[in-house]
Structure 1
Amino acid sequence: MSEPRESERPYLRVVRGNPSDEELAALTAVVATLGTDQAEEPAPRRSAWADPTRLVRRPLPHGPGAWRASGLPG
């Protein structure tokens, strides 16, 4: 008997165990998605106004004139 041609060979072969039909279907779905080339879209650029770190307050200055410096823009 001749060896099967490349197009007749199975893509996956179970070498150990006895998986159920559902397990084989899940494995096939995972392996099928690995071959696709899905380019991830870059995250949309966030403006400085929407940056949550803007809400975090800087440490207050200490020492002489600290009360005046605390009210000045940073």
Structure 2
Amino acid sequence: MTADDRTFLRVVHGDPTPEEVAALVAVLTARARAAAAARGGGDTRPPSRWADRSRLVRRTAAGGVLPRGPGAWRASGLPG
């Protein structure tokens, strides 16, 4: 297999900077993902619980969000 067989993107005219090529690849990737989502394709698995950033937010024992604002440090230690 030669390098030309694996080429995804080839510049045929001009001399783009690496940033311009990166921007073009980002746009093409975003359009391809949007088209796949519109077709219903792509990854249909539910998101991983490990990847869910909301698990990093502390909650009270009852499942609510900790108090905010003046005096919140005191209220966060009181039984709810």
Q: Is the pair's TM-score, using the shorter chain for normalization, greater than 0.5? A: no
Larger Rg belongs to: 1
Higher-helix-fraction structure:
2
TM-score tier after normalising by the smaller chain length: 0.3 to 0.5
- Whose RCO is larger (CA < 8 A, sep 6+)? 1
What TM-score comes out, normalization by structure 2 length? 0.37
